[in-house]
Homo-oligomer: A and B are copies of this chain.
Amino acid sequence: MNNTNRDSITLPSELGREKAVLSLAEKWGADAFRDSDGTKLSDEIINSGRDIYSTLCLVRADQEWARAHPEQTACKFLMSRSLAARGETLEVEPMSTYWSDCYVPDTRKESFAYWEVMDRTEASLLSPAAWNYDAKSGTVTISGTKKGHLYTVSFMVRLIWDITSRHNYITNNWTGEHIMAVDPSYPETYKHLMSYFDKWLEEHPRTSVVRFTTLAYHMPSDCDQDGKKGVYADSYGYTDTVSPPALAAFEEEFGYRLRAEDFIDQGYNNIVDRVPAKRYRDWMAFTQKRVERYARDLTGKAHAAGKRTAFYHGDHWIGMEPYKPGFKDAGFDIVIAVPHSEVTIRRLTDGPGNYVRELRMRPYFFPNELGVMDPAKNSQQIWAKLRRGILRNPIIDRIGWGGYLSLALEYPHFIEHITGLCDEFRLIKAKTQREKPVSYFKAAVISAWGKLRSWTEWSIEGEKFGSTENATMTLECLGGLPVDVEFLSFDDIKAGGIPEDVKVVINSGDAGTAWSGGSYWQDSEISATLREWIAGGGGFVGIGGASAREFQGRIFQLGDVMGIEKETGNSNHCARVPCSETGEHFIKMDAATPVKLGTERSFVSLRDRTAKVLYANENHVLMSASEYAGGRAVYIAGLPYTLQNARLLLRALLWAGREEDALKKCFSINQLTDCAVYSNAGIMAVANNADSHQSTTVYDDCGNSHTVQLAPYEIKWLNLKKKAYKVGRKGAKSVVA
């Protein structure tokens, strides 16, 4: 049976399989088709009466131009590996650990002037007179070296292979030519791209939506010398936006000259986890403005041509972060994201702007994604997590898929599953009418980045240790909770303190990273403001390396507030404060046994006898709760995402914020379920996040309880009593649909 309701679904087309594509589009109720990078739409599709999304990556669209202007690609700084001097000279081949297919050393005079040689053993910059580069052999010869010292060469390269093109070569065995992307920071190229786009618009009369991918600068991703394996990648990095004209313009605007080291960052490349330096943030601000101008020029042209515009948040974030001031002015009508978890959903839905929000769902219809496990099961698990986020702010407008639709034909039950998913998605839209459900209160997540990196997730595979207490795990737990969330930077706190409507502050992440805050915790204004705010009645939830910065006898700068301290080997001879678990506490009232907090050895010990240990492994405190003057604080050693840990976090937030009574309303007792109450719509969603049958008791917005039975992953909609009934009989059951 085909769906007569064409609404909210975008599907990819597939050349030669138009019949199958159209049949699935009918079945799932698709109202739009899209092409992909490298595929074209046939007339059969174009004429099917649906919207047409056409993909455009302008910076790599005209290879002829690119090859005619190879010096007008983006550049970046790379660091050679560290080499030790064993005599008075040292030869370094800067490119030896990089793949020469991707990069060419940039020896133009204005680029070469940025090259640097550093003595990493004494953190000193060598005079240009102390080294020499032989372009023919690709070798830097350093003279006057010190024995046993490590030296690195920071050098500029031109990016001669677009990263998406390279990715398809490596991962998908594409064998076409190496695509080169040009850099709009060159005025000549900028002008060319604009006229190319004018022509493109003319040539695409049937296109309803121009879908921009890799708008200007690709996210950084470096290959090692074998070209097999990425050595570094960062969705949020700004390193691949360098060029001589941009650097010169920066110097003009900001009044100082950047150095290679500002990008190299001791080899950390200003990865998003680093506490960002002022100079790097200046570069970001500079680049955001120029990308914004470029985006406005393009969206303006598209609108003038009567088309809508879509921005694909994937390989390109630079200057286009949805929480960046001015993002909504860039002129995009649609923003498309690939959602990994609740975190992506919250990022998309909590952000400002009235654009259409569209999800490019997983799994992609590629053999490597559909074939790995039962695709329906895989999709259902992902969807359950996304739905948690969507229910918190149901303003996702559209969903869609990518890849080869025909592959789905091999999995009939998967087709049925997608049919149901599309219907469920449309039902959520219809029931909730974009209403934000009841939330308990507002929490603030504080980090060095603040708002710009709201709901940031690690989407890159290849993290060395997924098991560190990273901030994303906390956000996954948080993303499905009925709590409003604001992201604050430490600079925000310095400028304006904690906003009045914030009940609880969350600080989570590895010690010494941008997420927990690192050096910011040595700033007396930060720790004093927070301490005083908590003492005055605020709540604090610290996770992992919360407030960690070794300073003045403390690792945790709010350790006095939390009643704990981290042991790093400098105070092992201090005796233990006896560490025994508190049997009963609001926070652990319905906790799983045993709790799994991702670590057994936190090296955190109790420091204040009045603090309560909720969970411990021998002397390692895993979770604690403390009263601090008028406020409260909770410490959690780690919080990997599970539904149980999400519940623990909810309870920690409620306890810290003195909002324990919140659970008497708008609450589903069973931890594997969620509920969301939409007062205006007079409706309540109860969702089963588990793949087994679940029973739960839910409380509506009046505190009335009702028992609900849910099939695996089922969502049920209960009608709320009319507001007038609020004054009715205590404990009365709500009327259920």
Contacts and interface: CB of A to CB of B under 8 A. Distances in A.
Interface in A256-309: 265-268, 271-274
A121 B86 contact: no
B458 A271 contact: no
B574 A232 contact: yes
Contacts of A191: none
A271 B571 contact: yes
Interface stretch (A521-529, A640-648, A729-737): A521-529
Nearest to A545: B569
Interface in A481-540: 509-513, 515, 524, 527-533, 535
Q: Which of the listed residues A463, A512, A569 has the most CB atoms from chain B within 10 Å of its own CB?
A: A569
Given A120-B552, A467-B601, A619-B465, A512 B575 contact: no
A111 B717 CA distance: 75
Contacts of A121: 524, 527-528, 552
Interface of A: 82, 84, 86, 118-123, 146-150, 229-234, 265-268, 271-274, 458, 460, 462-465, 467-468, 470, 509-513, 515, 524, 527-533, 535, 545, 550-554, 560, 567-576, 578, 599, 601, 603, 605, 619-620, 629
Nearest to A606: B464
A236 to B, nearest CB: 9
Q: Name which of A148, A464, A599 has the most chain B CB atoms within 10 A of its CB.
A: A464
A120 B535 CA distance: 18
A414 B532 CA distance: 62
Contacts of A560: 82, 84, 150
A618 to B, nearest CB: 8
| From A231, A513, A530, A553, residue with most partner B Cβ within 10 Å | A553
B511 A568 contact: yes
Interface of A is mostly: loop
A477 B15 CA distance: 68
A543 to B, nearest CB: 13
10 contacts: A148-B529, A148-B532, A148-B533, A229-B578, A265-B553, A271-B570, A273-B570, A464-B605, A511-B568, A599-B601
B567 A233 contact: no
A271 B570 CA distance: 7
Nearest to A579: B464
Name the residue among A230, A268, A272, A552 with the largest chain B CB count within 10 angstroms.
A552
B231 A464 contact: no
Nearest to A578: B229
A149 B530 CA distance: 10
A470 B465 CA distance: 24
B273 A146 contact: no
Nearest to A599: B601
A568 B529 contact: no
A512 B512 CA distance: 15
A505 to B, nearest CB: 14
A533 B527 CA distance: 44
A225 to B, nearest CB: 10
Contacts of A460: 573
Given A148-B535, A560-B82, A560-B84, A273 B465 contact: no
A86 B462 contact: no
B465 A567 contact: yes
A268 B567 CA distance: 12
A523 to B, nearest CB: 9
B123 A551 contact: yes
A148 B575 contact: no
Nearest to A275: B570
Contacts of A513: 568-570
B86 A568 contact: no
B629 A273 contact: no
Contacts of A528: 121, 146-149
A552 B150 CA distance: 10
Nearest to A274: B570
A240 B567 CA distance: 24
A150 B559 CA distance: 11
A568 B512 contact: yes
A576 B463 CA distance: 7
B86 A532 contact: yes
A572 B148 contact: no
B512 A573 contact: no
Given A123-B552, A271-B573, A462-B574, 11 more contacts: A82-B560, A84-B531, A123-B551, A229-B575, A271-B574, A274-B570, A465-B572, A468-B567, A510-B568, A511-B568, A599-B601
A553 B268 contact: yes
A148 B571 contact: no
A576 to B, nearest CB: 5
A229 B578 CA distance: 10
Nearest to A119: B524
A605 B463 CA distance: 11
Contacts of A578: 229
Contacts of A467: 601
Nearest to A229: B575
A468 B572 contact: yes
A682 to B, nearest CB: 45
Contacts of A463: 572-573
Nearest to A603: B465
A575 B234 CA distance: 10
Nearest to A510: B569
A196 to B, nearest CB: 33
A535 B150 contact: no
Contacts of A149: 524, 528
A85 to B, nearest CB: 9
A532 B145 CA distance: 13
Pick the most buried of A513, A573, A576: most chain B CB atoms within 10 A of its CB: A573
Contacts of A147: 528, 532
Contacts of A620: 465
Contacts of A82: 560
A570 B560 CA distance: 26
A226 to B, nearest CB: 10
A84 B527 CA distance: 11
A269 B379 CA distance: 57
B601 A527 contact: no
A515 B568 CA distance: 12
